[in-house]
């Protein structure tokens, strides 16, 4: 490869904080707020111009189940809290049965989930972090961690002001792609992703026909590319790495070509796309291979669990425990992972990328970072029992209840994989799911 020489230079230090959170997705927000609540000064650096990450700029406004599909509440703490924040100014379609504090769903009729209005969630998240005393710097792309041995002293960023540095005592990588941990030398795993892009469409004809007079009911999701729950092995659509410049570029171009082809086919009066995603919609790209890996052993207790987790698409869902050491590298002493890039391989990665689990690991990473600062220790040396107690006090189920352990082993079934349908083999798998209105039940 050809190279050019970039001369070394002094760059201004734009700010200094206790905890720097890289990425303002839902994991980064949970991490930042948890760290602030535990006494740290916190700054989020976000490359786009809004909070929420894939859940807003990537159009994934679907808060997957916080119950296990058998009526048991699994997630409390910030997982439940952020669901309510995303709905603060949105239409309310949180299932009624999820609204009381310590709920149990009697005779559940299926899998519940809720969706939220994206602009309303973006505005609510701005307000939320302000209330919590967290600062954010938008339109700021973090380029490199500044390492001294195994310690991260801060980061180099690029934004409208050019290149500058932010210094910190702890760094939480919530970039979704483990960019900071990887560039700091942590061991990571990458994988290719299918093109699977969402937008939202409005068919005014249906309203004119009198099928429905509610405009909101007629905004539906339109899906381009491949579905992750089907066998795509015969599809001609290529897969892409979300960790290379060319991979991201090609993914974006192809997902937009698929959208354009669809729009050309459906070009008619009264039909419109409402919005386009402004983040590439990659599910799993690069993840940490940490001091521990999440094990998907049904019913197994992890002594250092930071929370019980479920596969959000199963019913009844298998319950697992996620170990603290899967948030950290073996050597790097002041960096933690949060969100869809934590240390969980295979099925574990699929489980941990879902929004509730991203928020859970965010809360744990933020709390742990603040504790490490208070105790003056490395992230490998924090008092995990104290972290567990702190999380439990907010309503997190640290270890799975015995009855859940039992039902996990006996009844849990993996989600069924469907064969690819003709449309997806031909290039476009489209699916129109209810974007809003009633909470959707999945059977």
Ligand X SMILES: Cc1cc2nc3c(=O)[nH]c(=O)nc-3n(C[C@H](O)[C@H](O)[C@H](O)COP(=O)(O)OP(=O)(O)OC[C@H]3O[C@@H](n4cnc5c(N)ncnc54)[C@H](O)[C@@H]3O)c2cc1C
Scan residues 353-382 and list those touching ligand X (CB under 6 A): 353-355, 358
Place of tokens 């916080």: 66
Contact between 53 and ligand X (CB under 6 A)? yes
> Out of 22, 94, 172, 328, which residue is the one contacting ligand X (CB under 6 A)?
22
Beta carbon nearer to ligand X, 225 or 299: 225
Beta carbon nearer to ligand X, 155 or 387: 155
CB of 442 to ligand X, least distance (A): 10
Beta carbon nearer to ligand X, 327 or 405: 327
Beta carbon nearer to ligand X, 403 or 441: 441
Distance, C-alpha 17 to centroid of its chain: 24
Beta carbon nearer to ligand X, 60 or 94: 60
CB of 247 to ligand X, least distance (A): 14
Q: How far apart are the first and last CA of the chain?
A: 52
Decide if 360 contacts 319 (C-beta within 8 A).
no
State the sign of the Cα–Cα–Cα–Cα dihedral 48, 50, 53, 55: negative
> Out of 32, 64, 86, 372, which residue is the one contacting ligand X (CB under 6 A)?
64
Question: Total number of residues binding ligand X (CB under 6 A)?
Answer: 37
Contact between 255 and ligand X (CB under 6 A)? no
> Out of 69, 77, 154, 176, which residue is the one contacting ligand X (CB under 6 A)?
176
Q: Report the C-alpha gap between 329 and 290 in whole angstroms.
A: 5
Q: Pull the structure tokens for residue 343.
A: 């240390």
Place of tokens 């352990």: 405
Distance, C-alpha 275 to centroid of its chain: 20
Contact between 145 and ligand X (CB under 6 A)? no
CB of 23 to ligand X, least distance (A): 2
Part of the chain binding ligand X (CB under 6 A), chosen from 9-17, 45-53, 77-85, 395-403: 45-53
Report the 10 Å Cβ neighbour count for 246.
9
Decide if 85 contacts 128 (C-beta within 8 A).
yes
CB of 30 to ligand X, least distance (A): 8
HEC string of 303-338 equals CCEEEEEECCCCCCCCEEEEEHHHHCCCCCCCEEEC
Place of tokens 């009911």: 217
> Out of 67, 68, 179, 329, which residue is the one contacting ligand X (CB under 6 A)?
179
> Out of 36, 55, 122, 124, which residue is the one contacting ligand X (CB under 6 A)?
55
Q: Report the C-alpha gap between 61 and 21 in whole angstroms.
A: 22
Contact between 27 and ligand X (CB under 6 A)? yes
Contact between 424 and ligand X (CB under 6 A)? no
Decide if 163 contacts 357 (C-beta within 8 A).
no
119 Cβ neighbours under 8 A, 6+ residues apart: none
**Closest listed residue to residue 369, CA positions, set 173, 171, 182:** 171
Contact between 142 and ligand X (CB under 6 A)? yes
Q: Report the C-alpha gap between 396 and 146 in whole angstroms.
A: 34
Contact between 199 and ligand X (CB under 6 A)? no
Part of the chain binding ligand X (CB under 6 A), chosen from 80-88, 241-249, 275-283, 321-329: 275-283
Contact between 390 and ligand X (CB under 6 A)? no
> Out of 45, 168, 254, 288, which residue is the one contacting ligand X (CB under 6 A)?
45
Contact between 287 and ligand X (CB under 6 A)? no
Contact between 181 and ligand X (CB under 6 A)? no
> Out of 17, 38, 48, 93, which residue is the one contacting ligand X (CB under 6 A)?
48
Q: Pull the structure tokens for residue 120.
A: 């309303």
> Out of 37, 287, 311, 340, which residue is the one contacting ligand X (CB under 6 A)?
340
CA distances for 274 relative to 91, 255, 270, 334, 359, angstroms? 17, 16, 12, 42, 28
Contact between 326 and ligand X (CB under 6 A)? no
CB of 231 to ligand X, least distance (A): 18
Scan residues 65-94 and list those touching ligand X (CB under 6 A): none
CA distances for 321 relative to 114, 173, 328, 390, 396, angstroms? 24, 21, 16, 17, 12
Part of the chain binding ligand X (CB under 6 A), chosen from 26-34, 119-127, 236-244, 258-266: 26-34
Pairing relationship of beta strands 230-231 and 319-323 according to DSSP bridges: unpaired
CB of 341 to ligand X, least distance (A): 7
Q: Report the C-alpha gap between 163 and 61 in whole angstroms.
A: 33
Contact between 290 and ligand X (CB under 6 A)? no
Part of the chain binding ligand X (CB under 6 A), chosen from 59-67, 94-102, 230-238, 343-351: 59-67
CA distances for 2 relative to 244, 246, 250, angstroms? 17, 17, 22
Decide if 326 contacts 273 (C-beta within 8 A).
no
Residues found near ligand X in the complex (CB under 6 A): 22-28, 45-48, 53-55, 58, 60, 62, 64, 141-142, 174-176, 179, 196, 198, 279, 281-283, 312, 339-340, 353-355, 358
């Amino acid at each position: 490869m050809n190279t050019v020489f970039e001369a070394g230079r002094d760059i201004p230090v734009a700010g200094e904080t206790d905890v720097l959170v890289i990425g303002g997705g839902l994991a980064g927000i949970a991490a930042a707020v948890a760290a602030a609540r535990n006494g740290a000064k916190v700054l989020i650096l976000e490359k786009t111009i809004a909070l929420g990450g894939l859940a807003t700029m990537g159009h994934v406004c679907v808060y997957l189940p916080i119950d296990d599909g058998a009526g048991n509440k699994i997630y409390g703490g910030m997982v439940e809290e952020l669901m309510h924040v995303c709905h603060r100014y949105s239409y309310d379609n949180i299932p009624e049965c999820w609204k009381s504090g310590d709920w149990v769903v009697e005779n559940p009729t299926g899998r519940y989930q809720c969706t939220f209005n994206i602009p309303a969630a973006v505005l609510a998240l701005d307000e939320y972090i302000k209330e919590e005393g967290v600062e954010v710097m938008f339109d700021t792309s973090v380029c490199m961690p500044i390492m001294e041995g195994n310690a991260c002293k801060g980061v180099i960023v690029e934004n409208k002001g050019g290149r500058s540095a932010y210094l910190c005592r702890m760094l939480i990588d919530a970039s979704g792609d483990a960019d900071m941990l990887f560039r700091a030398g942590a061991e990571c795993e990458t994988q290719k992703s299918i093109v699977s892009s969402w937008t939202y469409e409005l068919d005014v004809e249906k309203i004119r026909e009198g099928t429905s007079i509610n405009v909101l009911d007629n905004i539906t999701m339109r899906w381009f590319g491949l579905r992750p729950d089907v066998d795509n092995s015969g599809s001609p659509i290529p897969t892409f790495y979300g960790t290379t410049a060319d991979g991201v570029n090609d993914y974006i171009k192809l997902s937009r070509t698929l959208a354009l082809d669809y729009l050309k086919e459906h070009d008619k009066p009264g039909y419109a796309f409402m919005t386009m995603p402004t983040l590439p919609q990659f599910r799993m790209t690069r993840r940490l291979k940490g001091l521990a890996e999440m094990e998907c052993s049904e019913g197994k207790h992890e002594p250092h669990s930071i929370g019980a987790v479920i596969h959000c698409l199963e019913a009844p869902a298998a319950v697992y425990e996620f170990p603290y050491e899967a948030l950290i590298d073996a050597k790097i002493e002041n960096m933690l992972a949060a969100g869809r890039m934590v240390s969980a391989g295979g099925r574990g990665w699929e489980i941990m990328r879902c929004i509730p689990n991203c928020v859970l690991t965010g809360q744990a990473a933020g709390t742990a970072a603040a504790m490490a600062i208070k105790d003056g220790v490395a992230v490998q040396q924090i008092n995990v029992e104290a972290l567990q107690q702190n999380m439990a006090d907010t309503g997190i189920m640290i270890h799975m209840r015995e009855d859940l352990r039992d039902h996990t082993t006996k009844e849990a079934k993996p989600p069924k994989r469907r064969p690819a349908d003709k449309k997806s083999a031909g290039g476009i798998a489209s699916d129109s799911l209810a974007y809003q209105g009633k909470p959707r039940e999945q059977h």
